Amino acid sequence: MTTLRTAVIGAGHMGSLHATRLAACAGARLTALADIDTRRAKEVAQPLGCEVVSDFRDLLGSIDAACVAVPTHLHHEIAAACMDAGVHVLIEKPLARTLDEADRLLGIARDRGLVLQVGHLQRYNPAFVALAAREGYPLFIDIERLAPFKPRSTDIDVVLDLMIHDLDLLLALARAPIEHVSASGFPVITEGIDIANARIEFADGSVANLSASRVSQATLRKFRVFWSDAYISADLQQQRLRVVRRGAAGMKEEDEVFPRTDEIKAQAEAFVRAANGAAPPPVTGAQGRQALALALEIRSKVRERLARHGHAH
């Protein structure tokens, strides 16, 4: 592999994490960190030994790949400018605000022959990788994701902020097209949707139920999948599975624990391999668009329900 000249655009919480992983990634050299808040960017960049710029455009022409970790409303503008300059892009989820923006990004990546990878981190979780490799199709999937309120994510609602993680995982597990979606949700602290529930029915008869909240007191992630012959509970935080099967002597439980994986590091390494042409990206722009489309449909149904029942939103 050639050594990719990389940059991170956005020095916030996620940007700083991406920067440390890319700086340590074989096959890449972190050359710069871009953020309009140069003081914050310098705090992140100083121990990494990379340049700081206030305008990402100053880097175009001198980098091969970039990680875009800025608020969602800036995703399209920044990613499009990078790819127009021939830069491979890893972009935080959600891919964009709208499907039109997503489609324009996909079109640029296709026309320029560039990698557009989307940051759905749980795809690199070894517990989920093992779950997705299981043969057969799930009958019922129940996913719950609760988190305390964090002011830094209020530019998007809970569907695009939290639930979209699990929508991407659900779509990776699904074996048939979606037939029906119903959803409900409410604003609690912000003017947007802070808690949401969705029921998704697939053409093969399988059903998924997803709940997400960003106004909970504690962090909780439950991921339960039922097959005709087994029930699997995935603890994605601890990266382990509990498999329950019916045996001759009754129910049999077995825990599968995996070596601890740094998902951000694994994602950075996958991005570098993809940008070097060594392997396809694990989460493509098309897959990011698919998760975005489902999230936007759920959000639309929540808003319709709120309007129908006279709730302000």
Which of 90, 114, 138 lies at the terminal end of a domain, its last residue?
Answer: 114
Q: What is the pTM of this model?
A: 0.93
Domain co-membership, 155 together with 136: yes
Cα dihedral 170→299→203→118 (10° resolution)? -40
270 assigned to some structural domain: no
Judge whether 34 and 7 are in contact, CB under 8 Å. yes
List all residues 6 or more positions away from 236 whose beta carbon is below 8 Å from its beta carbon.
122, 125, 127, 128, 221, 223
- Do 61 and 168 belong to one domain? no
Region of 130 please: left (phi>0), alpha (psi -120 to 50) or beta. alpha
CATH of the domain at 160: 3.30.360.10
- For the chain, the domain total comes to 2
Domain range enclosing 128:
123-261+295-308
Task: Report yes or no: 175 and 206 within 8 Å, Cβ to Cβ.
Answer: yes
269 within a domain of the structure (yes/no): no
pLDDT by residue for the chain (313 residues), tens digit each?
679 999 999 999 999 999 999 999 999 999 999 999 999 999 999 999 999 999 999 999 999 999 999 999 999 999 999 999 999 999 999 999 999 999 999 999 999 999 999 999 999 999 999 999 988 889 999 999 988 888 766 678 999 999 999 999 999 999 999 999 999 999 998 888 999 999 999 999 999 999 999 998 888 888 999 998 899 999 988 899 999 988 777 788 999 999 999 999 999 999 999 999 999 999 999 999 999 999 999 999 999 999 998 765 4
The domain spanning residue 47 has which CATH number?
3.40.50.720
Position 156, amino acid: I
Do 109 and 130 fall within a single domain? Answer: no
Decide if 239 is inside a domain. Answer: yes
Q: Are residues 75 and 141 in the same domain?
A: no
